[in-house]
Amino acid sequence: MGKLFFRYGVMGSSKTASALMLKYNFEERGQQVLLVKSSVDTRDGLNQISSRTGLSAECITFEELLNYDLLNYDLIIVDEVQFVSKKDIDVLIHITDKIGVNVVCYGLRTDFQGNLFEGSLHLLSHADKIEELKSSCWCGRKATHNARLDETGKVIKIGDQLQIGGNDKYVSLCRKHFITGRSF
């Protein structure tokens, strides 16, 4: 039986870099790894995952996952898992429990308003192992929230849950600075 892992962190906590390093480590030992992401994440194109550190690799979209013979893989890595649905998490549970493949998911826990993403909520409920990847606020405290910035750099808390972006649109803050809206 496989295991389902959820590794979450705020933006800038090296989630994608960790996913790509895990892929490399397994492949270096001759194991087969399938790298997957949601088609919602279009920053690097549909079939590419790139970290801010410069690491990158080809991937498939979550929608393509069931087109593959998953028995041929030792590990499935899902990046940006917060963008998938409860139904998609049920697919990952099926892959681990019925097919026996380990699945490691990386993503955000909450959005810029402090609300859980649907995919993250269901992983928090069903993952065999949950790990937090840590990062720091500008003040040095542990960053726990993702804050969205407007074009002037001011923290905003109103808008659609999904807005794809990087350092130009988001900053990771401790709870105190998230609540007060102080991004520097």
In angstroms, the CA 145 to CA 133 distance is 13
Two tokens, residue 53: 């550190």
In angstroms, the CA 82 to CA 105 distance is 9
**Can 58 be counted among the known catalytic residues?**
no
Least Cα distance to 138 among 115, 172, 103 occurs for: 172
Least Cα distance to 59 among 27, 84, 33 occurs for: 33
Two tokens, residue 166: 């990087």
Q: In this structure, what DSSP letter does residue 141 have? A: S
Q: Which is the catalytic residue, given 64, 80, 118, 132?
A: 80
Give how far the C-alpha of residue 99 lies from the chain's centroid of Cα atoms, to the nearest Å.
Answer: 23
User: Which residues are known to be catalytic?
Assistant: 80
